[in-house]
Amino acid sequence: MTRTAFFISDGTGITAESLGRSLLAQFSGVDITMLTKPYIDTVEKAEELAAIIEATADRDGVRPVVIDTIVDEDIREVIRAAPCFKVDIFSTFLAPLEQELATHSSYSVGRTHAIGSDDVYMDRIHSVHFALDNDDGARIHQYDEADVILIGVSRCGKTPTSLYLALQFGIRAANYPLTEDDQDEDGVLKLPRFLAEHHHKLFALTIDARRLAAIRNERRPNSRYSSMDQCLQEVEQAESLYRSLHIPSIDTTRFSVEEISTRMISETGLVRRFSPR
């Protein structure tokens, strides 16, 4: 069965999409085409979208699912009249909360994703800049300022995880790639001295060698770098290093960057400078 789902908002659509994807992910037996429609902030835009929803229902032969965070009642009414199964996030959750808190919601457009505190905004910018500056061991002299230093073989997910930690939580994350340059004369992988000095900040990422070979092959096909033998050797040496030095680690093979980051925070007790947007 194929269905279409619309995530609709009069703001960025991030809340509707995030919650909608989480809900629909529970239905693995249904093939769902997901479409995000942000900034539906006028009746005219809503009417155009309602026509698209109706055309989609005619094409699919079944009504689309609509998950929305629309605030304006006139706009909500236009969408509600379209042939769809509608999940209204605000009306579903805000009404019970209003009753429990004995006060009325502000029903403000974009409230969730407003910049808000200048300090929080600047913290986010600084953290992202720090992650970019300290990508792939570029600024080892700045490790005193890092909250966490991610280590692992090339292409195991260090960079996206560092950026996600910075953007979502304000965590200063540096990352360093373990390569053949870190091996001793016997070919054994060793932890560089400048990392050993920050052992308490280290968190390791590992990955299945087959998955690593597939990722590397997209970047450098048919090379030693992407060969299965090379990937297997690097992963085994890195994991041996983590075990011998008691460095906490996570296997990134089947986890999203969101899961990697939140599991890392849970396991290490890293302090968030702010909550995710």
Can you tell me which residue has the tokens 């085994």? 236
189 DSSP β-pair partners = 183
187 known ligand binder: no
Say if residues 43 and 75 touch (Cβ distance below 8 Å).
yes
153 known ligand binder: yes
Say if residues 150 and 176 touch (Cβ distance below 8 Å).
yes
Q: How far is CA 257 from CA 163, 165, 219, in A?
A: 10, 9, 20
**Cα 65 to Cα 67: distance, rounded to the nearest angstrom:** 7
**Cα 66 to Cα 27: distance, rounded to the nearest angstrom:** 16
Cα angle 88, 116, 123; round to 5: 120
152 known ligand binder: yes
Q: Is 199 left (phi over 0), alpha (psi -120 to 50) or beta?
A: alpha
84 known ligand binder: no
155 known ligand binder: yes
Task: Tell me the two tokens of residue 23.
Answer: 């809900």
154 known ligand binder: yes
User: Nearest-CA neighbor of 38 among 3, 64, 69?
Assistant: 69
Pairing of strands 2-8, 202-206: unpaired
H/E run at residue 151: strand 148-152
Binding-site residue set for ADP: 152-159
Binding-site residue set: 152-159
